[in-house]
Chains A and B, each alone.
Chain A
Amino acid sequence: MPSNPYANPFAGASTATDGDFQKMQGDLYKTWEKSMGAWWDQVLESPAFHETIKTVGPMAQARGQYRTAMDAALRELQLPTRDDVVRLTKIVTQVEDRLLAQEDLLLQVQDRLISMERETLKARIEAAEARIAAQASSQGPPVSTPPVAAAAAQLDAATEAPATSASARRGRR
């Protein structure tokens, strides 16, 4: 049976305790916690502390010197250095940026087309309705063509679509 990784390694251990002693330790702990907090506020305001913090820098610089030496060795061996890989990564990122910029443009065009499609469709319907109304008033008696087919034909004519009507196209399928 696998052992529980979260099992307490101290489970089962017991220590004799005295109530007063425990209370004293608890009080001591609270005093420590409070005084540490206050002390730390003072430390953070101390100029000496901030000067010491800056000494972390030389460690990073030492690492940089090591890397420079390593790069020189790699160049001698005709192997790509870290800088070469970084340059290559930057080029790939630039290409990605350009592709995403193109994608942005395509999406904007798509948005515009959706908007135009809706406006165009609306205009086509209005034009078709106007022509139907005009034709009906000029011809006088009702036309024998079924209303839907007539409307479709008018729509085609209004938008300079091929001569085949919507009903004819449907029939060919």
Chain B
Amino acid sequence: MTTDPWSQIARGMAVHAVTPRPPVGQTPHVVVHAQDKLVVRYYAPIPQAPAAVVTDRHPLVLVPSLINKAYILDLEPGRSLCAALAERGHPVYLVDWGTPGPEDADEGVAYVVDELLPRAVDRAVRHCAAQQGRSGDRVLGAIVLGYCMGGIVAAISIARLAAAGPHTPIAGFIALNTPVAFAHAGRFRDLVAPEHLDVDRDLPRLLDADGLVPVNVMKPAFNLLDPVGSVTKYRAVDAAADAPEKLARVLARERWLEENVPMPGRFAREFIAATYQKDQLLTGEWVIDGRPVDLRAIRCPTLVVTCSGDFICPPEAALPLASIVTGTAETHTLKCGHIGVVVGSEGPRTFYPLVDRWARRVPA
């Protein structure tokens, strides 16, 4: 078999086109809360010993990006953040945003950060307390892990909950590849910079008839972020073609990349304008529903994780969060890419144990 890159790409394309995609999101779980399209999936902790009952762990609430399927965090056996943390004894709650429909076109950022997410976290905390037999002051707050855009909405939500009063259901915050300094936010910023895109004039023209940013606009945009990678990835497919397990793994990741979720038009307009165009998250000038977003209000322990090979959220776009929050902050930069950190080999080797260790240290 020839090993020249062009033939590998050609063969990879053929394999990619004809091979069925493997199942994803296979870890057993139950749905404990639902609102609108959102559901919260609960992955029970797996005790180390048969008789052991884990009652001293904070509920870990995982918040993926709104434009991706939630199963990225439970992709497949061995590459599942949900399963890995449950196996380490943590009660895990996955926020699945669902797929918006035309009825959601007018929902803005406020609906997500003030309505959907706080209630999802609240119900996860209550469910966990009931499982652990805790009540009143003994209830353990949640550790919220936000990934990419999920990290942004989680940060805003946590800051607003903290600003509202001293008693919040949040015990810790993990920001994974979460940009806050959008001047350094890489190629996506180039794509939607104000000199190229007027959100009020141009964005409505990109919306579909349902008022959503459709998948067929988003997917090419993401391909444009790494046009070379969207071709060279077929080499990886070819390299895995003779190993069924490896190929299934590559194609599970492909499935996730292929299955984007549309974004409500109003949310997209507000979000892109305030973040990628005006960089208002870092300066505290973003006003949502009449209230400014002040990330300094985040008082809980915070872990900022970035990836050196991330071109969607370069480390310099994410690391400033650690110096904004008021609580103790820790930073880690891993040697992998934006997606590889959760579904690549670096996930089980480095990232999953890092989250486990850090979560155990968060005080009650």
CB contact under 8 A between A56 and B217, given known A40-B228, A64-B209: yes
| Residue B200, interface by CB 8 Å | no
Are B5 and A26 in contact, with the CB atoms below 8 A?
Answer: yes
Are B1 and A60 in contact, with the CB atoms below 8 A?
Answer: no
Interface residues on B, range: 35 or more
Q: How far is the CA of A15 from the CA of B36 in the complex (A)?
A: 56
Are B103 and A90 in contact, with the CB atoms below 8 A?
Answer: yes
Are B11 and A26 in contact, with the CB atoms below 8 A?
Answer: no
Residues of B within 8 A of A90 (CB): 103
Partner of A33 from B214, B228, B241 at Cβ < 8 Å: B228
Are A60 and B206 in contact, with the CB atoms below 8 A?
Answer: yes
- One of B67-75, B153-161, B189-197 contacting the partner: B189-197
Nearest-CB residue, chain A, relative to B217 = A56
Residues of A within 8 A of B19 (CB): 5-6
Are A54 and B202 in contact, with the CB atoms below 8 A?
Answer: yes
CB contact under 8 A between A7 and B3, given known A36-B227, A60-B217, A63-B208: no
Are B209 and A63 in contact, with the CB atoms below 8 A?
Answer: yes
Partner of B241 from A8, A40, A47, A56 at Cβ < 8 Å: A8
CB contact under 8 A between A7 and B228, given known A54-B205, A93-B103: no
Which residues of B in the span 85-104 have a Cβ within 8 Å of any Cβ on A? 101-103
Are A86 and B102 in contact, with the CB atoms below 8 A?
Answer: yes
Are B196 and A9 in contact, with the CB atoms below 8 A?
Answer: no
Q: How far is the CA of A89 from the CA of B244 in the complex (A)?
A: 43
Number of interface residues of A (CB under 8 A): 51
| Residue A114, interface by CB 8 Å | yes
CB contact under 8 A between A44 and B102, given known A29-B6, A115-B136: no
Are A118 and B244 in contact, with the CB atoms below 8 A?
Answer: no
| Residue A167, interface by CB 8 Å | no
| Residue A139, interface by CB 8 Å | no
Are B103 and A29 in contact, with the CB atoms below 8 A?
Answer: no
| Residue A67, interface by CB 8 Å | yes
Distance between B313 CB and nearest chain A CB, rounded to angstroms: 17
| Residue B278, interface by CB 8 Å | no
Nearest-CB residue, chain A, relative to B115 = A97
Which residues of B in the span 1-60 have a Cβ within 8 Å of any Cβ on A? 1-7, 11, 14-15, 18-20, 35-36
Nearest-CB residue, chain A, relative to B244 = A6
Which residues of B in the span 169-194 have a Cβ within 8 Å of any Cβ on A? 187, 190-191
Residues of B within 8 A of A86 (CB): 101-103
Nearest-CB residue, chain A, relative to B8 = A29
Are A37 and B217 in contact, with the CB atoms below 8 A?
Answer: no
10 interchain residue pairs of minimum CB distance = A57-B205, A8-B241, A64-B209, A29-B5, A50-B196, A6-B244, A25-B4, A15-B2, A89-B103, A44-B190
- For the complex with contacts A21-B4, A89-B103, 9 further pairs of A-B residues with Cβ separation under 8 Å are A6-B244, A6-B248, A10-B11, A15-B1, A22-B4, A41-B187, A44-B191, A60-B205, A64-B209
